[in-house]
C-alpha cells in the first residue's frame, strides 16, 4: 500500500480544520481571517516547524502572499489612487508616519532593537481593508460619506504598504537607515513601478482587445496567472519581493476592461491560497508562551486603537474634512490586518525580528479586529462629546477649513499649461531615463560582445537614439501645440519670454541625456557632444515620420489608459463632473436596488414624493440596459430597478430605513407551505367517482388544478389522451399538479 505524500496530508489537514472553523466563525458573524488564524494555532499541535513537510506549507504560504497581493492590485489600480486625490494621500501619509513613529517609541520602551522597533511601527501603521469593508457592509455604512473617505485612505495605504515592504527589505539587508543607498533604492523602486506600469498600460489592453474572440474564461484565467507569475519573476530578478511583482501586475490589469472578469475568476484561487497563508500565520503562534507576552499584547493593542483614533481623525481633518467625518473615519481604522502579517513574515524571513514579535503582532491583530465593531459604535458618542466640549470657535474653524480645502481657480491658463507640461515632461523624460539606464546596463555589454569597438558603439548609439526619438519629440513640442500655449502667446508679449524659456529648458533636458550617451560611448568633448545632441533634436522636430509615430504612440497609450474609465462612464447614470460637484456640497449619490417585495414597487415617483418625505432626489432609474436620467413624476418603480438617489448622509439613512422596513417584515415572515408542482401516478380503483367520465368532464384540470398527461390501460400507454376519452377502472393516470390536489383526486 503506497504512502500518502506529506504535501497532500498537510494540505488535507489545513483545509479540514480551516473549513470547520470558517463555518463556526461565519455562524458567530466574525471575520473568516480570524478563523484561519485559529485553525493555524490548532494545526500547530499536529505539525511542528521541525517536520519535513512544514517546508511545503511555507511554499503554499508564499504562493498565498503572491495571489493576495495580485488580488489587491486588481482592486487597487493607479487610476483609483489618482481619483481619491490629495486628501486621501495627505491623510494616509499622516497616519502611517505617525503610527510608525509611535510604534518605534513603543518598541524602544520595551527594550527591543532599532530594527525590531521599526518593523513594529510598520506592522501597526496600516488598517485592514478586508475587515473594514466587511464591517461597513454588515452595518449598512457603505453609502455614508465618511466610508468613501476611509476607502480612499485604504487605497493609498495599500500602495504605501508595498513601497514600505521594499524599503524595509533594503534597510534590513544593508543595515543602513540613511544615505545615498536609501535614495538609490527608492529611485530604483519608483523606476520599476512606473516603467512596468507605463509599458503594461501601452501593451496589455491592446493585446486583450485583439485577442478578445479567443478569450473564454479558461484562457483569460491562464493568461492572467501567467502575467502575474511572469512579473513575479521579473521583480525577484530585479532584487524586489515576489509580492511587489504580483501587486504591480494586478494594478496594470486593473486598468483594463477585463479587470472585473479577471478578478472574479481569480477570486477562488486567491481565497484558497490566502487561506493557507493565514493558517500558516496562526501556526507560528505558540500558545504555551503567549502568557509571557500578555503585557506587550495588551499595551500594543491599546496603542493601535487609541493611536489610530487620534492620528486617523487628525489626518482626515488635515485632508480638509469636517470634524464629524474625521471622527467617524478615525474610529473605523482602529485595527491591523493582512499587511501586518506579510510585513512580519518578511522580517522573519530576513532574520531581523524575533518570532516572539510575530506572535505578539498576530495576537494584537486578533484583539483589534474583534474590537473594531465596538469601537465604531463609539464614534457618534465621541463626536457628540467633542461637539459639546470643544470651543465653538474651533468647530467653526474646522468646518471653514473643510469647506475651503478644495482648490479653486482651476481655469488659469498658466496653471493648466504648467500642470499639463510638467506631467508630460516627467512621464516621457522618465521613460527616456529608463531606456538609457537599461540600455547601458544590459544592452551595451551584449552589443560589445558581438560587435566590439567603434562599430558596436555606433550601432548601439543609433538604436538608443531611435528608441528615444518619439518620447523626446513629445517632451519638446507636445504642449507647444496646446490651446493654452497659443492663447498665452497671443494675449500678451510679456508671456512670450517665459514660454520660450519652457521650450529652451526642455531642449536642454533632452540634450543633456543625449550628451550622457555620447560621452559614455565615444568620450567626446563637451562642445561636440552638445552640438551633436542639438542637431539630433532638430532632426526629431523636423521629421514628419517621427511626428506621426509619436502621435500614434501617445494616442494608443491614452486610449488604453482611459479605456476602462470611458467604458464605465458610458455605463454610469451620471457624469464624473456631476459627482465631484455634489461632493463639494456634502451630498453624494447612492444606488439602491429595488427588491420585488419593497412597498414602493408599482408606484409612481409622484405618488412616492421622495423629495417631500426624505429630502432626496431620484437622479436616474436603471432598468436593465436602459437608463432613465432625471425621470418625470409619472415614471413607475418596477422590481429589480436600480434607483440612483442624491442626498446627504442623514437623508440617505432615513430613506434606506424606509426601504428596509418592508424587507425586514418580509424576512421575518414564517415560511408558507411549499406549493411545488409534482408528477404522480394515480390508479382508478372500483368506486372512484371518475370512472365513466370523460377527461373533459372529470374536473381534473378545472376543479383540481392538475394536468393529465398520460394514461396506462391494459399494458398500453397513451400520451396526451383525447379529452373525450372515458376513464375506466384500473386506469393509471399520470398527473402533474400540487401534491395536495393530486391526493384529493386519488381519494375521489
**At which residue does the C-alpha cell 399494458 appear?**
715
Mean pLDDT of the region 302-322: 87
pLDDT band at residue 675 under the 50/70/90 scheme: low
**pLDDT single digits (tens) 198-252:** 778 778 888 888 888 888 888 999 999 999 999 889 888 877 777 778 888 888 8
Three cell numbers written together for 665? 417584515
How many domains would you assign to the chain? 4
46: left (phi over 0), alpha (psi -120 to 50) or beta: alpha
149 and 72 in a common domain:
yes
Range scoring the smallest mean pLDDT among 446-460, 618-632, 728-742: 618-632
What percent of the chain is predicted at pLDDT more than 70?
A: 83
**pLDDT single digits (tens) 541-575:** 888 888 888 878 777 777 777 666 666 555 555 44
Q: Answer for the pair 297, 255: CB distance below 8 angstroms, yes or no.
A: no
Domain hosting residue 520, numbered range? 413-565
Q: Is residue 527 part of a domain?
A: yes
Residue 692 has pLDDT above 80, yes or no: yes
284 and 177 in a common domain:
yes
As a whole number of angstroms, the distance between CA 292 and CA 702 comes to 79
Q: Is residue 44 part of a domain?
A: no
Mean pLDDT of the region 410-421: 66
So what's the pLDDT on residue 226? 92
So what's the pLDDT on residue 584? 44
Range scoring the smallest mean pLDDT among 6-15, 93-102, 576-585: 576-585
CA–CA distances in Å: residue 356 to residues 278, 285, 287, 290: 17, 8, 11, 9
The Cβ-side half-sphere exposure at 552, using a 13 Å CA radius, reads 6
As a whole number of angstroms, the distance between CA 473 and CA 550 comes to 7
Q: Is residue 581 part of a domain?
A: no
**pLDDT single digits (tens) 484-528:** 777 777 777 767 777 788 888 888 888 888 888 888 888 777 788
356 and 234 in a common domain:
yes
As a whole number of angstroms, the distance between CA 278 and CA 398 comes to 42
448 and 344 in a common domain:
no
As a whole number of angstroms, the distance between CA 655 and CA 152 comes to 25
Three cell numbers written together for 639? 422590481
522 and 377 in a common domain:
no
332 and 479 in a common domain:
no
Residue 265 has pLDDT above 80, yes or no: yes
User: 137 or 148: which carries more pLDDT confidence?
Assistant: 148
Nearby residues of 443 by Cβ (< 8 Å), 6 or more positions away: 460, 463, 464
So what's the pLDDT on residue 664? 47
So what's the pLDDT on residue 222? 92
Paired residues of 590 in beta bridges: 645
542 and 683 in a common domain:
no
So what's the pLDDT on residue 543? 83
Q: Is residue 736 part of a domain?
A: yes
Query: In a 3-state reduction of DSSP, which class is residue 642?
Result: strand
So what's the pLDDT on residue 594? 83
266 and 151 in a common domain:
yes
So what's the pLDDT on residue 670? 39
pLDDT band at residue 475 under the 50/70/90 scheme: confident
User: 312 or 158: which carries more pLDDT confidence?
Assistant: 312
Q: Taking Cα atoms as reference points, which of 617, 526, 627, 518 lies closest to residue 569?
A: 627
Q: What is the CATH number of the domain that holds 691?
A: 3.30.70.1450
So what's the pLDDT on residue 303? 92
Burial 149-171, CB ≥16 within 10 A → b, else e: bbbbbbbbbbbbbbebbbbbbbb
So what's the pLDDT on residue 410? 36
pLDDT band at residue 400 under the 50/70/90 scheme: low
So what's the pLDDT on residue 60? 77
Query: In a 3-state reduction of DSSP, which class is residue 719?
Result: strand
So what's the pLDDT on residue 102? 92
Amino acid at each position: 500500500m503506497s504512502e500518502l505524500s506529506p504535501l497532500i496530508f498537510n494540505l488535507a489537514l489545513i483545509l479540514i480544520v480551516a473549513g470547520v472553523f470558517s463555518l463556526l466563525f461565519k455562524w458567530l458573524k466574525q471575520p473568516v481571517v480570524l478563523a484561519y488564524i485559529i485553525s493555524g494555532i490548532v494545526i500547530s499541535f499536529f505539525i511542528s516547524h521541525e517536520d519535513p513537510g512544514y517546508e511545503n506549507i511555507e511554499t503554499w504560504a508564499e504562493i498565498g502572499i503572491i495571489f493576495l497581493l495580485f488580488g489587491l492590485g486588481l482592486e487597487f489600480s493607479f487610476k483609483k489612487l489618482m481619483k481619491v486625490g490629495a486628501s486621501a494621500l495627505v491623510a494616509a501619509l499622516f497616519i502611517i508616519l505617525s503610527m510608525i513613529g509611535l510604534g518605534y517609541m513603543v518598541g524602544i520602551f520595551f527594550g527591543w532593537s532599532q530594527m525590531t522597533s521599526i518593523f513594529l511601527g510598520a506592522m501597526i501603521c496600516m488598517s485592514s481593508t478586508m475587515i473594514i469593508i466587511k464591517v461597513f457592509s454588515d452595518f449598512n455604512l457603505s453609502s455614508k460619506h465618511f466610508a468613501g473617505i476611509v476607502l480612499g485612505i485604504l487605497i493609498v495605504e495599500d500602495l504605501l504598504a508595498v513601497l514600505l515592504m521594499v524599503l524595509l527589505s533594503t534597510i534590513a539587508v544593508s543595515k543602513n537607515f540613511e544615505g545615498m543607498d536609501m535614495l538609490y533604492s527608492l529611485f530604483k523602486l519608483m523606476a520599476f513601478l512606473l516603467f512596468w506600469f507605463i509599458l503594461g498600460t501601452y501593451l496589455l489592453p491592446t493585446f486583450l482587445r485583439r485577442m478578445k474572440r479567443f478569450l473564454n474564461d479558461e484562457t483569460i484565467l491562464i493568461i492572467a496567472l501567467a502575467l502575474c507569475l511572469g512579473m513575479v519573476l521579473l521583480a525577484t530578478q530585479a532584487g524586489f519581493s515576489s509580492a511587489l511583482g504580483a501587486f504591480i501586475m494586478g494594478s496594470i490589469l486593473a486598468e483594463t476592461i477585463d479587470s472585473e472578469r479577471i478578478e472574479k475568476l481569480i477570486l477562488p484561487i486567491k481565497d484558497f491560497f490566502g487561506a493557507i497563508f493565514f493558517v500558516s500565520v496562526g501556526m507560528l503562534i505558540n500558545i504555551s508562551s503567549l502568557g509571557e507576552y500578555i503585557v506587550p499584547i495588551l499595551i500594543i493593542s491599546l496603542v493601535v486603537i487609541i493611536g489610530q483614533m487620534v492620528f486617523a481623525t487628525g489626518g482626515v481633518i488635515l485632508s480638509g474634512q469636517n470634524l464629524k467625518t474625521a471622527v467617524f473615519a478615525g474610529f473605523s481604522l482602529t485595527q491591523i490586518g493582512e499587511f501586518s502579517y506579510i510585513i512580519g513574515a518578511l522580517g522573519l524571513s530576513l532574520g531581523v525580528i524575533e518570532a516572539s514579535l510575530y506572535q505578539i503582532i498576530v495576537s494584537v491583530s486578533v484583539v483589534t479586529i474583534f474590537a473594531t465593531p465596538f469601537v465604531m459604535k463609539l464614534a457618534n458618542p465621541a463626536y457628540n462629546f467633542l461637539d459639546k466640549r470643544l470651543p465653538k470657535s474651533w468647530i467653526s474653524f474646522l468646518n471653514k477649513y473643510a469647506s475651503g480645502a478644495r482648490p479653486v481657480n482651476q481655469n488659469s491658463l498658466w496653471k493648466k499649461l504648467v500642470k499639463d507640461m510638467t506631467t508630460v515632461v516627467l512621464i516621457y523624460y522618465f521613460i527616456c531615463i529608463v531606456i538609457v539606464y537599461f540600455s547601458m546596463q544590459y544592452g551595451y555589454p551584449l552589443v560589445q560582445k558581438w560587435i566590439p569597438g567603434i562599430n558596436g558603439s555606433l550601432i548601439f548609439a543609433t538604436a538608443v537614439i531611435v528608441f528615444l526619438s518619439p518620447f523626446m519629440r513629445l517632451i519638446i513640442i507636445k504642449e507647444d501645440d496646446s490651446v493654452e500655449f497659443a492663447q498665452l502667446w497671443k494675449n500678451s508679449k510679456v508671456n512670450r519670454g517665459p514660454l520660450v524659456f519652457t521650450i529652451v529648458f526642455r531642449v536642454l533636458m533632452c540634450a543633456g541625456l543625449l550628451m550622457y550617451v555620447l560621452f559614455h560611448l565615444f568620450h567626446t568633448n563637451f562642445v561636440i557632444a552638445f552640438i551633436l545632441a542639438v542637431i539630433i533634436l532638430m532632426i526629431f522636430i523636423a521629421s514628419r515620420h517621427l511626428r506621426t509615430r509619436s502621435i500614434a504612440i501617445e494616442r494608443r497609450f491614452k486610449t488604453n489608459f482611459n479605456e476602462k474609465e470611458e467604458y464605465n462612464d458610458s455605463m454610469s447614470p451620471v457624469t464624473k463632473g456631476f459627482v465631484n460637484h455634489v461632493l463639494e456640497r456634502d451630498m453624494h449619490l447612492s444606488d439602491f436596488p429595488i427588491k420585488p417585495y419593497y412597498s414602493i414597487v408599482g408606484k409612481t415617483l409622484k405618488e412616492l414624493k421622495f423629495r417631500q418625505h426624505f429630502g432626496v432626489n431620484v437622479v436616474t432609474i436603471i432598468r436593465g440596459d436602459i437608463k432613465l436620467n432625471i425621470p418625470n413624476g409619472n415614471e413607475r418603480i418596477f422590481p429589480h430597478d436600480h434607483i440612483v438617489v442624491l442626498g446627504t448622509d442623514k437623508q440617505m439613512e432615513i430613506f434606506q430605513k424606509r426601504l428596509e422596513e418592508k424587507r425586514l417584515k418580509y424576512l421575518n415572515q414564517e415560511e408558507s407551505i411549499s406549493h411545488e408542482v409534482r408528477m404522480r401516478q394515480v390508479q382508478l380503483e372500483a368506486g372512484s367517482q371518475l370512472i365513466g367520465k370523460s377527461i373533459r368532464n372529470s374536473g381534473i384540470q378545472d376543479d383540481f388544478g392538475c394536468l393529465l398527461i398520460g394514461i396506462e390501460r391494459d399494458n398500453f400507454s397513451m400520451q396526451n389522451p383525447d379529452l373525450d376519452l372515458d376513464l375506466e377502472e384500473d386506469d393509471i393516470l399520470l398527473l402533474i399538479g400540487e401534491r395536495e390536489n393530486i391526493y384529493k383526486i386519488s381519494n375521489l
